[in-house]
């Protein structure tokens, strides 16, 4: 028997039996298959048992490929780390919406998990002064920083432009002050402001007070790392200039007392000079807390130091643990255009004490040296 011819798609869908009929056949619609293999090049599909097996294998291959794709997607999804929407750090919590120069700028486009914590306060445009002076804007910033509610990192970040302006003013002032110091005291090296200015950030590692920022600007000037001049600026008539040796080390203090025990004439002459008394007060301790001349109740021993006679004629000097003087300035003086010259007059009065302390703490220092000897020699040369 000759082999049967392959049926068309319409015959396959109609059924496995093939009947010859003279009646016209109605076209049969082919239902859509969810996952079918592409037709052969001839446009027909097989209806025999072997061809049905081939179709089944093709469907199995497709299902295997789809399963592999789904497994691969699950593996890739498991490798992606979930994003943390919330963070305890203010810096990670969100960007700050910055304002433009008019204070009404458009903020950043926030992403998922970000929050607006405030607007950045721009530096004041009024009340500015020429370089080398301190303005009221600087005092206003320090006054705000003295408020416990403002002295935190988040507030400081929002007011950083104001701080940068105040910091720049202070740097220019210190640069101008260093030049004036060099004219009066050639032993003070002309260092750049960044090497003499203290940072505004407090060291809170071993302190019970966790306030992160200081409420003043300060700088120090000295030779070879020894104790010298200290300048601090704080609103409320608390600005000051200090000079001398504050809390010297054990060996240094013993050396100073040894010089005083042998001969105290030089130190006596320095602290009793009229210009010195005019700027730092009379040569006697105060009856209450405070500092006058080189004496301060908080830095004095109640009795004679170990190894010294309590009836020594210079017992008032030997009881001192610091040899430093303070001069305070009012806010009006600090804001004065000629404040630099006012500071210079105080520095001139403190210079002999600084030289005396440096010599006392130096090896081979001459305790009998007269602070005015150099000036007298110059006078003799002129004659």
Report how far apart, in Å, the C-alpha atoms of 307 and of each of 3, 20, 103, 170, 317 are. Answer: 133, 138, 68, 46, 15
List the structure tokens of 49.
Answer: 């048992």
* pLDDT confidence of residue 119: 87
* pLDDT confidence of residue 72: 61
pLDDT digits (tens, 9 = 90+) for 105-152: 444 566 777 666 678 999 999 999 999 999 999 999 999 999 999 999
Give me the number of domains the chain comprises. 1
* pLDDT confidence of residue 130: 94
Q: Is the predicted pLDDT of residue 333 greater than 60, yes or no? A: yes
Contact between 116 and 98 under an 8 Å Cβ cutoff? The reply is no
For 369, what's the count of Cα atoms within 13 Å in the CB-facing half-sphere?
16
- Residue identified by tokens 């300035």 is 329
For 120-132, the DSSP string reads PPPPPSSS---TT
Highest mean pLDDT among 39-43, 273-277, 305-309: 273-277
Mean pLDDT across the stretch 182-202? 89
For 298, what's the count of Cα atoms within 13 Å in the CB-facing half-sphere?
7
Let me know if residue 281 belongs to a domain. yes
Torsion of CA 293, 226, 187, 232, to 10 degrees: -60
Q: What is the domain extent for residue 300?
A: 222-377
What is the chain's mean pLDDT, rounded?
76
Let me know if residue 227 belongs to a domain. yes
pLDDT digits (tens, 9 = 90+) for 46-105: 444 444 444 545 545 555 666 666 666 565 555 544 454 444 444 444 444 444 444 444
* pLDDT confidence of residue 374: 45
Let me know if residue 102 belongs to a domain. no
* pLDDT confidence of residue 345: 94
SS (H, E, C) 55-81: HHHHHHHHHHHHHHHHHHHHHHHHHCC
Let me know if residue 382 belongs to a domain. no
Q: Is the predicted pLDDT of residue 342 greater than 80, yes or no? A: yes
List the structure tokens of 328.
Answer: 């305070």
Give alpha helix (H) positions in the chain. Answer: 9-14, 49-79, 90-93, 136-145, 153-158, 160-184, 250-262, 265-271, 274-280, 315-318, 331-334, 339-360, 373-382
Let me know if residue 350 belongs to a domain. yes
Mean pLDDT across the stretch 196-210? 92
Let me know if residue 277 belongs to a domain. yes
User: Which range among 27-36, 184-193, 305-314 shows the weakest confidence by mean pLDDT?
Assistant: 27-36
pLDDT-based confidence at residue 189 (cuts at 50, 70, 90): confident
Let me know if residue 308 belongs to a domain. yes
How far is residue 123's CA from residue 162's CA, in Å, rounded to a whole number?
A: 4
* pLDDT confidence of residue 174: 94
Contact between 326 and 242 under an 8 Å Cβ cutoff? The reply is yes
Measured N-to-C along each axis, helices 136-145 and 160-184 cross at an angle, to the nearest 10 degrees, of 120
**81: which residues sit within 8 A by CB, 6+ positions away?**
none
**Phi, psi values for residue 300, rounded to 5°:** -115, 145
Contact between 349 and 241 under an 8 Å Cβ cutoff? The reply is no
Taking alpha carbons only, the member of 30, 23, 24, 25 closest to residue 9 is 30
Let me know if residue 318 belongs to a domain. yes
* pLDDT confidence of residue 177: 92
**332: which residues sit within 8 A by CB, 6+ positions away?**
none
Q: Give me Rg for the CA atoms of the chain.
A: 44
Question: Higher pLDDT residue, 368 or 182?
Answer: 182
Contact between 197 and 218 under an 8 Å Cβ cutoff? The reply is yes
Taking alpha carbons only, the member of 215, 96, 202 closest to residue 150 is 215
**291: which residues sit within 8 A by CB, 6+ positions away?**
299, 324, 325, 326
Q: Is the predicted pLDDT of residue 279 greater than 90, yes or no? A: yes
Q: What is the pTM of this model?
A: 0.65
For 132, what's the count of Cα atoms within 13 Å in the CB-facing half-sphere?
11
* pLDDT confidence of residue 14: 45
Query: What percentage of the chain has pLDDT greater than the value 90?
Result: 45
Q: Is the predicted pLDDT of residue 254 greater than 50, yes or no? A: yes
């Amino acid at each position: 028997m000759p082999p049967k011819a392959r049926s068309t798609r319409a015959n396959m869908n109609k059924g496995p039996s093939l009947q010859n009929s003279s009646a016209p056949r109605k076209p049969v619609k082919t239902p859509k298959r969810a996952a079918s293999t592409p037709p052969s090049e001839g446009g027909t599909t097989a209806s025999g048992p072997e061809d049905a097996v081939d179709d089944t294998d093709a469907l199995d291959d497709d299902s295997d490929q789809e399963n592999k794709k789904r497994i691969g997607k699950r593996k890739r999804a498991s490798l992606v780390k979930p994003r943390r929407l919330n963070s305890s750090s203010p810096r990670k919590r969100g960007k700050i919406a910055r304002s433009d120069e008019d204070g009404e700028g458009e903020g950043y486009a926030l992403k998922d998990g970000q929050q607006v914590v405030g607007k950045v306060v721009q530096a004041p445009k009024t009340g500015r002064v020429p370089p080398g002076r301190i303005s009221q804007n600087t005092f206003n910033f320090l006054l705000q920083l003295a408020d416990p509610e403002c002295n935190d990192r988040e507030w400081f970040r929002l007011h950083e432009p104001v701080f940068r302006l105040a910091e720049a003013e202070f740097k220019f002032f210190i640069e101008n002050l260093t030049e004036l110091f060099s004219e009066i005291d050639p032993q003070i090296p002309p260092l750049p402001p960044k090497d003499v200015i203290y940072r505004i950030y407090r060291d809170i590692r071993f302190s019970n007070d966790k306030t992160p920022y200081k409420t003043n600007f300060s700088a120090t000037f000295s030779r070879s790392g020894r104790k010298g001049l200290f300048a601090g600026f704080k609103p409320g008539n608390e600005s000051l200039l200090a000079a001398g040796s504050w809390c010297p080390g054990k060996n240094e203090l013993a050396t100073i007392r040894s010089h005083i025990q042998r001969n105290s004439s030089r130190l006596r002459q320095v602290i009793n000079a009229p210009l010195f008394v005019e700027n730092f007060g009379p040569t006697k301790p105060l009856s209450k807390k405070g500092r006058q001349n080189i004496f301060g109740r908080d830095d004095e021993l109640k009795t004679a130091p170990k190894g010294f006679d309590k009836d020594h004629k210079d017992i008032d000097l030997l009881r001192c643990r610091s040899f430093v003087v303070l001069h305070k300035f009012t806010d009006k003086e600090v804001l004065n255009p000629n404040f630099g010259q006012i500071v210079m007059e105080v520095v001139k009065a403190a210079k002999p004490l600084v030289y005396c302390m440096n010599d006392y703490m130096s090896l081979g220092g001459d305790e009998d040296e007269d602070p005015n000897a150099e000036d007298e020699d110059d006078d003799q040369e002129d004659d």
